[in-house]
Structure 1
Amino acid sequence: MYVVLILIVVAIVLGPSLWVKRVLAKHGKDIPTMPGTGGELADHLIKRFELGDVNVEQTELGDHYDDNDKMVRLTAPHFQGKSLSAIAVAAHEVGHAIQFHRNEPIARLRKRLTPAAITVERVAIFILMAAPAVAAVLKVPQSVLLIAAVGVIAMLSSVFIQL
């Protein structure tokens, strides 16, 4: 029973991320006839939507829009790539820049909740990593389930904050 519940929770937490990675990999092959790269599209969209203070750069830290630095950051395959994935990711991240530029409510909410989501996720990881040690110290094996449940709930709350 517990195993099934844990598998369901893991699927809920990790499933969407794994699905997105699979789809991006599936459509990540360069198309020679594509007229530009993801980075060039992002730059074009920034100019088209007159986001004057926003720039584009390549990063190793994952594709994202950083509102503090006004920077659309794309990984090498998406910045230099001429694939459907590169185009989709570039357009998606510029979409975030547009939301922030227009001061849309969803962007304000995201800016307010993102630090909380990151903190909750870090706490959840710490709780999950500490569970075996706490169980050993308490000498109560069942405490692992309780601690793991708290960690999973914290992870799920981070997912819901980001949703």
Structure 2
Amino acid sequence: MFGWYYDYYYIILVIPAMILAMWAQMKVSSTFNRYSRVLNMRGYTGAQAAREILDRNGLYHVQVRQVQGKLTDHFDPRTNVVSLSESVYGSTSVAAIGVAAHEVGHAVQHAKGYAPIKLRAAIIPITNIGSTLAIPLVFLGIFMQVDMLINFGILLFATVAVFQLVTLPVEYNASNRALETLESTNMLGTEELKGAKRVLSAAALTYVAALIVAVANLLRLILLTGDRRRDD
């Protein structure tokens, strides 16, 4: 029979991954705060930078709007809206320009049919289901000793790991597009560009950490079910 003491994989796999994820989140927050105090010399706000980059790419139909929160910035391809947080939209900081350009990078990816972003969008519905039901299904299957439930739960959670894996090239490519655009348009000076790069590099760590957390949880589920089957 399955017991809680069997779940030492949570301690040796998942907890270290979660600590890494928390460190990555603190890193991006501290780096963003640092460069939020560095203003760009040309006086662009995040919203103005986003609008100019969109227009340079012919994306006149994509709107830029402000949303509440901090670092809640995102691009929604369903509505063609780049949403910038309060700390980015009206700010003239180097951090704000970097984040705004990154989100516009996603809009450009979508417009140009960048394959990884299309794949990520396609698996989001399955991933949402997997992130909610996978672990309960696995543990229910272990408790009831129903292999079909266990296997289905693991398969569902595997989609979460795949989503995080696909997210990496999407985010890195958006950051690269942002930095190349900021440099080619001289929107930021050389030193300012370095600051924006540090902000985006710190943000990228959160996606790496998210992948590690997903893989750690997937491996945990596989090992737990393997132990249960050996005990049968």
- TM-score calculated relative to the size of structure 1: 0.70
Moved more, 153-162 or 111-120: 153-162
CA–CA distance in structure 1, aligned partners of residues 32 and 96 of structure 2: 8
Aligned-residue offset at 1:19: 2.6
Residues 34, 83 of structure 1: 8 Å contact kept:
no
CA–CA distance in structure 1, aligned partners of residues 117 and 14 of structure 2: 33
1:120 corresponds in structure 2 to 130
Please, which of 25, 29, 48 is the counterpart of residue 37 of structure 2? 29
CA–CA distance in structure 1, aligned partners of residues 19 and 117 of structure 2: 28
Residues 73, 85 of structure 2: 8 Å contact kept:
yes
SS at match of 2:83: strand
Aligned-residue offset at 1:156: 6.6
Distance 1:86 1:25, change over 3 A: same
Residues 75, 106 of structure 2: 8 Å contact kept:
yes
CA–CA distance in structure 2, aligned partners of residues 123 and 13 of structure 1: 22
Residues 57, 72 of structure 1: 8 Å contact kept:
yes
CA–CA distance in structure 2, aligned partners of residues 63 and 43 of structure 1: 15
SS at match of 2:84: strand
CA offset digits 1:93-142 (Å, max 9, x no partner): 00000000111112211211333333333446x85xxx9xx9xxx8xxxx
Aligned-residue offset at 1:15: 4.0
Distance 1:103 1:156, change over 3 A: closer
Aligned-residue offset at 1:8: 1.4
2:194 corresponds in structure 1 to none
Please, which of 77, 92, 101 is the counterpart of residue 102 of structure 2? 92
Structure 1 or 2: more helix by fraction: 2
1:102 corresponds in structure 2 to 112
Residues 57, 71 of structure 1: 8 Å contact kept:
yes
2:220 corresponds in structure 1 to none
CA–CA distance in structure 2, aligned partners of residues 15 and 155 of structure 1: 25
Aligned-residue offset at 1:160: 3.5
CA–CA distance in structure 2, aligned partners of residues 32 and 93 of structure 1: 18
Q: Which has the higher contact order (CA 8 A, sep 6+)?
A: 2
Q: Is residue 78 of structure 1 aligned with residue 88 of structure 2?
A: yes
Aligned-residue offset at 1:23: 1.8
Aligned-pair identity in percent equals: 25
Structure 2 matches for 1:8-157, cutoff 5 A?
Answer: 8-29=16-37, 31=39, 33-60=41-68, 62-123=72-133, 127=136, 157=161
Q: How many residues align?
A: 141
The structure whose Rg is larger is 2
SS at match of 1:27: helix
SS at match of 2:36: coil
SS at match of 2:48: helix
2:202 corresponds in structure 1 to none
Superposed CA RMSD in Å reads 3.0
CA–CA distance in structure 1, aligned partners of residues 88 and 39 of structure 2: 13
- TM-score calculated relative to the size of structure 2: 0.51
CA–CA distance in structure 1, aligned partners of residues 132 and 94 of structure 2: 33
